[in-house]
Structure 1
């Protein structure tokens, strides 16, 4: 797959940031991020605050129309957005390694489930990454995924 590099003023970047993502998200990336933060703060899970702010920072950079469904509904796909988000923050010295790991792997659980059925080679790669993580990080990724899901709002279709 070609690596997508949307510029800040591209249609894909701005639309996905402010207006629309896909059928699983009610809002664009910005409002989704604010909703994730709301749920994190409401639960008092302050260790996730920075990850909540940064987990989708790379999403608008890699928004693209993957298939006819994306085109038909005016939506986007964001393959490996979590790795793009990590690439943006990985050298920031003021962000903890813990936060960087949450950002990098926040979609891993869902990716494993999805790729097991749709893309066995990808599944093997993602499963190997999961198996290499420590138990505390795995539990925190499960919890963070819950806040990420709460931030999506209702499905649109």
Structure 2
């Protein structure tokens, strides 16, 4: 089930999340974060992640919303199911490989499984079921891509 938030390109949530700090886990907006992730994949010589680095959060500004009091207080954004929105944007692009589409679609899956299990969320079973259908190679690649994604976040602003 995809988040129903559908921000327009020139909306405040879209532009704010694109150019300014996203939330407590990201030092930068989506644009700089994306460039940083791409940089770290290139620096490591992991060229198979180049397109995924550029596209993994393309749907994020469309899903930006204020989830709770903390988001409002700290001028931050939440991005529920941003990876699925990113995938929906690129899924029919013939010049993007199925491999890249999978990395984009599932790049947050490892973290989502851990978080939903810890918080006893209903989505845990659904996310685990998706994980169980994936090949071992893509699981390993998702874990490696998550390293680059974390590197792209910069230093945490607050805990």
Q: Given the two structures, how large is their TM-score scaled by the length of structure 2?
A: 0.97
Matching residue of 2:138:
137
Map of 2:86 onto structure 1: 85
Q: Assess, with a 3 A threshold, how the Cα gap between structure 1 residues 128 and 135 changes in structure 2: closer, same or farther.
A: same
Cα-to-partner distance string for 1:63-86 (whole Å, 9 max, x where unaligned): 000000000000000000000000
Match of 2:12 in 1: 11
Task: Check if 1:36 corresponds to 2:55.
Answer: no
**CA 1:2–1:141: 2 relative to 1, 3 Å:** closer
Structure 2 counterpart of 1:25 = 26
Q: Give ranges in structure 2 of 5+ residues lacking alignment.
A: none
Contact map agreement 2:113 2:127 (CA 8 A) in 1? yes
1:64 is paired with a residue of what secondary structure? coil
Instruction: Give the Å deviation of 1:2.
Output: 6.2
Runs of 4+ in 1 over 6 A off after TM superposition: none
Cα separation, 2, equivalents of 1:97 and 1:22: 30
How has the CA–CA distance of structure 1 residues 139 and 31 changed in structure 2, closer, same or farther, with 3 Å as cutoff?
A: same
What is the 5 A alignment of 1:1-157? 3-157=4-158
Give the deviation of 1:119 after TM superposition.
3.7
1:121–1:82 Cα change, 3 Å: same
Q: Distance in 1 between matches of 2:87 and 2:127?
A: 16
Q: Give unpaired runs (5+ residues) of structure 1.
A: none
Q: 1:126: how far off? A: 0.2
Change (3 A) 1:2 1:59: closer
The Cα shift of 1:20 comes to 1.8
State how many pairs are aligned: 157
Take 1:53 and 1:11, find their aligned partners in 2: how far apart are those partners? Answer: 22
TM-score by length of 1: 0.98
Q: How many angstroms apart in 1 are the aligned matches of 2:61 and 2:125?
A: 27
Deviation (angstroms), 1:120:
3.3
